Amino acid sequence: MGRDAMRTWVGLFGAVFLAGCGAEAEGSSDGTAPLGCVATAAEGIEVAAADGSGANGYALGYAPHAVAGCLLVYVHPDGSLRARDLARGGEETLAEVVEAPRRPTAFGGVVAWEALEAGQRVVRVRAGGATRTVTGAFDHAGEPRAAGDAVVFTGWLSPDDAGDTDVFLYEPEKATAIAVASGLGQQRFPDVSSTHVAFADFAEDADGRFDEDATDASDVVVIERDTGRTTRRARPGKQAFPLLGAEGRVVYLEWGPMHPEPKFSAYTLIVGDVREAGEADVSVVEIETAVPYVRPTAQGSSLEWVQWRSGAPATLFRQPADLGAEATLVTGMEFVELYAPVAGEGMTVVAARAADGAMVIRAAAR
């Protein structure tokens, strides 16, 4: 099946996406996921409060949930990975607790997540009704992100988590993943769209890897999938965690060149045209969060982020990705603690701390 066919293929959970969608339902921007559900359908669903890999809960800011059309994929508090049909309420278990699933991602007919297999961290992909572990020229893998026709992820070339990494791309109709970004040092934190791949390149760092020391330095790199054309957003300091969900845009975070830099709780949100060189990329907003790794999200025509200054409640903001209007507060999304915003076609979901200490999903229509 070619890429054009994949872009319009519902694949896995096609019935879920279509269920409950009446004749009047609107299709999504890519034609794959008619929206027959409302944001309130996700409200109050309890999710895992930590992913087992970091003291701050969601290490590196990877969310315990993903949303695509009317499908919510989330890590249950018992540790299993589940997919819920928000239109009809049915639910399926995608991965059992023994697999230690985490960091789900979903778009169109593709769902991916990290899991443990024989004690090794792997990326698993569900598409076309089948779940498979992705193989390729790497030792172990993680940090997946899905588009409607592909998954990108970080592949470690040795058992050493501080060792060399490359970025790999897997298309569900192919047998194995291929390296799309390699070189000196680590290439990590990729994202993918139907047209581009983006990642953080730590080749310029003193030790060539992401280890949160006082000298970390990196650039964001964007690759055009069809041609291989590459643009490097070369700026002082550290740029990382690129996003490609906003139409025609690359979005990423920047920390200044002064060290020690803020440890992922104060940063600048940068936006640029994904087809152009990085010189014209612009700063959008200075963001602060009470804990590290509360990263922004981008989807369709909007950017969204959590602003969580010391002593104030956490709030969700939204701004057009073309920066044609000022940012606005998303009504009803103010909480004492707020984590992991993820934007889908019709709603944005976040993890909020409930009064009883549980982590529950809150959702806002887009």
Q: Give per-residue pLDDT as tens, 155-173.
A: 999 999 999 999 999 999 8
- Segment among 10-19, 153-162, 185-194, 254-263 with least mean pLDDT: 10-19
Q: Residue 187: beta bridge partners?
A: 201
Confidence of residue 93 (pLDDT cuts 50, 70, 90): very high
Average pLDDT over residues 266-285: 94
Average pLDDT over residues 229-246: 92
Alpha carbons 264 and 255: distance in angstroms, whole number = 8
Q: What percent of the chain has pLDDT over 90?
A: 75
pLDDT at 25 over 70: no
What's the pLDDT tens digit per position in 34-87?
457 999 999 999 999 998 766 567 999 999 999 999 999 999 999 999 999 999
**Cβ 344 vs Cβ 365: under 8 Å:** no
340: left (phi over 0), alpha (psi -120 to 50) or beta: left
Q: Is 141 helix (H, G, I), strand (E, B) or coil?
A: strand
Residues in the chain: 366
Confidence of residue 234 (pLDDT cuts 50, 70, 90): confident
**Cβ 47 vs Cβ 104: under 8 Å:** no
- Segment among 145-154, 182-191, 214-223 with least mean pLDDT: 214-223
Confidence of residue 152 (pLDDT cuts 50, 70, 90): very high
Q: What average pLDDT does the structure give for the chain?
A: 88
Matching residue, tokens 């054009």: 4
pLDDT at 328 over 80: yes
Beta-strand relationship, 338-343 and 328-335: unpaired
Tokens of 26: 């609107």
Alpha carbons 201 and 239: distance in angstroms, whole number = 9
> Does the bond joining 260 to the residue before it have cis omega, within 30 degrees of 0?
yes
DSSP state of 39: G
CATH code, 291: 2.120.10.30
Task: Between 33 and 92, name the one with better pLDDT.
Answer: 92
Contacts of 70 (CB under 8 A, 6+ apart): 16, 17, 19, 20, 21, 33, 35, 36, 37, 41, 85, 86, 87
pLDDT of residue 11: 39
**Closest to 156 (Cα-Cα) out of 175, 169, 174, 137:** 137
DSSP state of 262: P
Confidence of residue 236 (pLDDT cuts 50, 70, 90): confident
pLDDT of residue 56: 63
Average pLDDT over residues 260-280: 85
> Phi first, then psi: what are they for 175, rounded to 5°?
-75, -40
DSSP state of 7: H
Alpha carbons 212 and 196: distance in angstroms, whole number = 27
pLDDT at 213 over 80: no
Q: Give me the sheet containing 120-127, strands edge to edge.
A: 102-107, 110-117, 120-127, 130-133
Long-range residue pairs from 266-274, CB within 8 A, at least 24 positions apart, any chain: 269/296, 269/303, 269/305, 270/233, 270/235, 270/239, 271/246, 271/303, 271/321, 271/323, 272/233, 273/248, 273/249, 274/193, 274/195, 274/196, 274/198, 274/222, 274/244, 274/248, 274/249, 274/250
Domain count, the chain: 1
Range of the domain at 282: 3-365
Tokens of 173: 């109709």
